[in-house]
Each structure stands twice: as C-alpha cells, then as structure tokens.
Chain A
Amino acid sequence: MEQKLDFLSELGNIGASYATTALSKMLNDARLRLTVPQSRILSFAEAASFIADPEEIVVCVYMRLMESFQADMALIFPIESALALAVYLTSEKTDQLTELGQSALLEVGNIVLSSYLTALSMLSGAKLNPTVPAIAVDMNGAIWESILADAGITDCVTVLDTHFFTDKMELSGHLFFMPDHDIYEIMSPKVSGLLLEENK
C-alpha cells in the first residue's frame, strides 16, 4: 500500500509541476512564484472535513478523464484570487467576475489541467483524453462534494495543494487530481521503471 501511495505522490508531483509551469508562463514567468507540496491521500471522513471553510466562494474549473483510467481533476481559486487573475488576464477594469473573466479562467484551467495530463501521458505512453472543461462559481464545500460524488469516491482521494504568489497580487489555489485505483495497475509498470532508474 505504501508503495502505491509513494507512486501516486510521485506521479502527482510530476503532473503538478508541469501544470504550474504552464500557469507561470501565462503569467509572464518573472512575476510568479509557486510551491508544490506533497500530495496527500485522504480517507472519506478526512475528505468530508478537508475543506476548511466550506462556505467560502470559489471558482472551479473541472474536467474528467475517462479513457485508460478514470480521474477527476479540478483547479480551484478563492474568489479574490480568481478575480485578480481574471483582471490580470483580461485587463478589464472591474471588481466583478465578468463573463469574459470566467471564460479566461476556464481557459487557464484548461491549459493548466491539460499540462498535468501531458506529463502523465508522457510518463505512461497512455493516450489521455479529458472531457471539455466546465466552470462553476459556488461554495467551496458544494463544489468539493460534487466532484467527489461525480467521481464516485467511496474510500480515499489523492489531493494536491498548489500555491501561487506574485509581486503584484496574491494568488492561491488548489489543484486536485483524483485518480481511480486502476491508475496504479495501468501506469505503475512503465513509470516505476523510470523512477527506479532516476533513484539509482
């Protein structure tokens, strides 16, 4: 079991570093710093209380992976971060999340999450086709549980936290990747070989 967790963590870290590099490029490299902490595996009960403030309003871009193995992915920004990011990208002078702003964020989510998948695809050689991304602006708790329910999470979930910082604004966000258990059987033989080589 521990080997599986290590494997998933490693996979998640590689994916997240690709994803955050993509975001960094969109924000003009120099302005953005980020940290990628270790992924965590949560039990259902832990997942239920994972969101510290379930009433907080957030913006979430969500997509699902259905071929090869199932996985649900989400990029979640607190509303203040989402607004700052939208204003930065669109140059709109507004304190509201406009339709244009939402569409910019949807594109950010699409690029960031797709970069994550590109990393996994390169590692495994598997063809990974995600669904068209969807965006929601809602209570953090409602978004979180809807994703878990859609994914049919019954026991545990892998979670990644990624924080973004810039000189001019503070961005924080969560990048979630929630793979089905099949991912281990599908990706492990190929990826483990690569990682073992690296660790030698």
Chain B
Amino acid sequence: MNEVFVNMGQIGVLRYTGVLVTVGLGSCVGVSLYDPSSKVGALAHVFLAKSRDNSNRELIPGKYADTAIPALIDLAVKAGANKHRFEAKIAGGAHLFNTFNADMPSVGQKNVEAVTAQLNKHNIPIIGKEVLGKHGRKMSLFIDSGIVVVTTIGQESIRI
C-alpha cells in the first residue's frame, strides 16, 4: 500500500487509496480531515499553537495550528474534497516530561486547544480523538476507509 509520511510541520493529501502516516507525535498534534464521499484525506503534523514570527508563516504553513488548518482545508479541497463534508480526527498533544512545569498548561495541551478552536471556527466536526496523556503516538489515516489508527509504545493500537 502507498504510504506517505508527513513530517513535523508538514501537510499531506491522498485520494482513493493509500495511507498518510505521521510518526513521533509528542506534544505535536496530528490532524486528519476526511471527506467520505470523494475519499480525499489530508493530514497535518502541527508543531505549535500560534506562529511567533511572521517571516516563517508562509514558508511552513503546517507548523502552526492557526496556519495549518486553513492550509489543510485548501489542500484537501484542491484534491477534490467538499469542505462541507469534512470529518476531523486528532491525536497527540502529550506531555512526555512530567516533572517540568507541572502546574502550567503544557505545550501539548495548548496545541490540542488551538487545533480544536481552528476546526470549530471552520465548522468541521471532530469525530475522533486520542489526545493528551504522557506518551508519544504514531497516527495513520487509511484513505479508502477514513479509519485512523493511533499507536503508543507498549500498548495496543487504537482505532478512532
């Protein structure tokens, strides 16, 4: 099966068949959009909640939640998706190093909140999620079915 890897800060899209994979989601959040009718799926690996420096925004739109979600929608629509049929799934936003800044909201938590706010803003329902916690994740979006499989070390894979 055609496997396409989406690196940190990147976005990817496939239609009809194949699988979009992102590995090593720590505090980052993986966001998948899927249109079941056109069988278009897109995946982003969001690094931080908000862009800090404007110079890099256009260069790597997938890096920040506020630029990644619009870019992901555009990419999927250009590949043939209808934006009114998008279903989103999200995974990641973990906090791996537990002792540090325990009373502050973690980077992962901020990422999950930012991604959720962006999806809400674009009226895209989140139909599955596997977020927060202490461990990193791998996220795979199967394009023919829209199923997302999330893997964590030492645990059974989860379907969302």
List the interface of chain A (C-beta within 8 A of B): 44-45, 47-49, 51, 54-55, 57, 62, 64, 131-132, 134-146, 148-150, 152, 154-155
**Cβ of B107 < 8 Å from any Cβ of A?**
yes
Q: Which of B27, B47, B94, B97 is close to A62, meaning CB atoms less than 8 Å apart?
A: B97
Known contacts A138-B153, A146-B97, A149-B107; decide if A48 and B8 are in contact (CB<8 Å): yes
Give B contacts to A, CB under 8 Å. 7-10, 23-28, 47-48, 52-53, 56, 60, 63, 94, 96-100, 107-108, 111, 135-138, 153
Residues of A within 8 A of B60 (CB): 44-45
When distances are taken between beta carbons in the complex, the residues of chain B under 8 Å from A138 are: 26, 96, 135-136, 153
Most buried by A among B23, B24, B56: B24
A139-B99 in contact (CB<8A)? no
Taking CB atoms, residues of chain B closer than 8 Å to A45 are 9, 60
Q: Which chain B residues border A51 with CB–CB below 8 Å?
A: 24
Nearest CB of chain A from residue B147's CB, rounded to whole Å: 20
In the assembled complex, the Cα of A79 lies from the Cα of B28 at a distance in Å of 23
Q: 16 A-B residue contacts at CB 8 Å?
A: A44-B63, A45-B9, A48-B9, A132-B100, A141-B24, A141-B25, A141-B26, A142-B137, A144-B26, A145-B24, A146-B96, A149-B27, A152-B48, A154-B53, A154-B56, A155-B53
By the criterion CB–CB under 8 Å, are A142 and B9 in contact?
no
Knowing A48-B8, A54-B23, A55-B138, the reply to whether A145 touches B63 (Cβ < 8 A) is no
Residues of A within 8 A of B24 (CB): 51, 54-55, 139-145
